[in-house]
Amino acid sequence: MYLIKTNGLLFISITFLLVLFSCSHQSVQEEVVIGEGSAYPLEGILTLPSAHEPVPAVVLVHGSGPSDRDQSVYSYNIFKDLAQALTEQEIAVLRYDKRTYTYQDSFTEEDLLTFTVYEETVEDAVRAIQHLQNDSRIDNEKIFLIGHSQGGMLAPRIYDASENLAGLIIMAGSPRPLWEIIYDQNLAILEDLDPDSTLYETNHQQLITEYEKAQQLADLTLEESINETIFGLPGYYLKEMESFNSEAVLREQSVPLLILQGEKDFQVNVEKDFEAYQSLLADRDHAHFILYPDLNHFFINYQGEGKGTIEEYHQGGHVEDVVIDDIVNWIKHTSD
């Protein structure tokens, strides 16, 4: 029996295909293709307010795993929530299907041995940013990135690869290595099992084994890591991801940062992740932090049966208005 794991629950050209419709709040949605002419073109949507002058815009970057443009997870569609709400506040939003969602059946086992977050997320996010910069309806000086979960973890790398962003919004991200977060997620699940059960013992031993392998990852070369699998992920993927120093980028750059976290998030830890950002950026005036007492990993307030487990994601809900308001106010304040 393999480890119990939670989903990541833990992105140069774009061409317009069709203007779909005008919404009741006078916004327009246009279908787009990111990376047209590349090996992996991606379909998406640009949602625009009906302004007569260039407007601020955001690119939405997914968390881990295959995900569509709405970042549909069970009953949640938080990227659709963000796109609709931000557009109502005169902010354009670009969202698109993730490469591993559109082409998940195209990658061979050999491909995955050396697959990295650059191919999975970074390259497409940079292409999306470049598109917005070439759109006369977008204010080039006011393009922001919103990364959720692993997308937030990769926000510094995307910024480093583009360096044309007005600010980064990290939602439920972490400055820690991905394997540490996966380890904590598994450990939390084990704590709910009977410690005397066979299920507990089997998974506990496997968890220790994977943790020890992860700790040894630092001593391996990138080539040596190809032969490893850690917490179900290719060692090369984890090693390459750690090779980029996100903490250094966050500290050395002065790009405005908004870091958001739900206190009831059981996938990303407030003490180990949100407070790690606070400690890392304690003396940086460009970083702003907001912790929401009753919100989960998707910034939704759920108080019913199954609270604190994956079950709550099946119950539906929308990103809370207070989160939308904070994002809008921060973007407008930063843009002034």
Hey, which residues are catalytic here? 149, 265, 297
The interaxial angle of helices 178-190 and 235-242, nearest 10 deg, is: 120
* Token reading at 331: 């973007």
Q: How would you label 210-222 residue by residue, b for 16+ Cβ within 10 Å and e otherwise?
A: bbebbeebeebee
If residue 59 lies in a helix (H) or strand (E), which one and from where to where? strand 55-61
Closest CA to 57 of 335, 336, 326, 283: 335
What are the DSSP E strand ranges found in 236-308? Answer: 257-262, 287-292
214 CA to centre of own chain = 22
Question: ∠ CA(128), CA(133), CA(138), 5° rounding?
Answer: 105
Cα–Cα distance measured from residue 63 to residue 147, given in angstroms and rounded to the nearest whole number: 7
